[in-house]
Amino acid sequence: MNEPQAGDERRRVSGRRMPAGKSAAAFVSLKREIMLGELAPRQLLVELELATRFGCSQGTVREALLQLQDEGLVLRNGYRGTQVSDCTVEEAVELFRIRQSIECRGIVHVLQHPSRTLVADLKAFLADMSAAARKGDELELASIDREFHGRIFADAGLPALDPILRRCLIHNHRFKISRSMGTRDLLQTAQRHEPIIAAIEARDLKAASAALFHHIATIVDFGPNVFPDQVQ
């Protein structure tokens, strides 16, 4: 597998500070490996070894690790070093539930005053997801998927919740990708966003809430029933 370039980590929606140069290359490469399960939970990440691998200083590696810590993908334990964070079923279930609450409450605010570009932006993201699906790039598809949901929530006007939703989305996708058994239809994964767009375009709050709920509740086709006490 070719090392990903820094530009592979898309920046359209988040607005958060991103590492630059070699730090960005280290961040993107390590994030890809964690998301794909190539770096195992609790695996120790040694700054000196990573600096040698990426041809940079330990300070540059440290910046990348701080960004990964911000996304909850690594745990920095002072003198004990840095480890890849766990990816447990229990934590995944709670993050799915938090995400569902944030997005389904947020859509109420979104549809009160949606921006004029919202639907067009979502359709553009859908086209990008479909293109990534046709290339067979599941990680890129997941990255655009996060932008899609982040773009909807941006219109809710609840910025304090943005980083919480972002972390939920990242860990939802990490769990889904790293625990997946067999090959999925990626184009179908992209197309699952179409009902959400249609409901938002129609300004139909009930349909939009139902589409978002169903989308989140069915994101994982294996493992536990994430919402056992709620009627879909």
Q: Please state the pTM of the whole predicted model.
A: 0.85
Please state, in angstroms and rounded to a whole number, the distance separating the CA atoms of residues 126 and 109. Answer: 22
| 3-state SS, residue 169 | helix
The per-residue pLDDT for range 105-132, each reduced to its tens digit, is: 999 999 999 999 999 999 999 999 999 9
Predicted pLDDT at 228: 58
Quick one: average pLDDT of 10-26?
Answer: 60
Please state, in angstroms and rounded to a whole number, the distance separating the CA atoms of residues 171 and 71. Answer: 9
Range with the lowest mean pLDDT among 109-118, 121-130, 205-214, 218-227? Answer: 218-227
* Domains, the chain: 6-84 (1.10.10.10), 89-217 (1.20.120.530)
Residue 215 Cα distances to 1, 10, 100, 219, angstroms: 31, 22, 9, 6
Predicted pLDDT at 221: 53
Q: Name the pLDDT band for 14 (thresholds 50, 70, 90).
A: very low
Quick one: average pLDDT of 48-61?
Answer: 93
The per-residue pLDDT for range 142-190, each reduced to its tens digit, is: 999 999 999 999 999 999 999 999 999 999 999 988 777 667 789 999 9
49, pLDDT greater than 50: yes
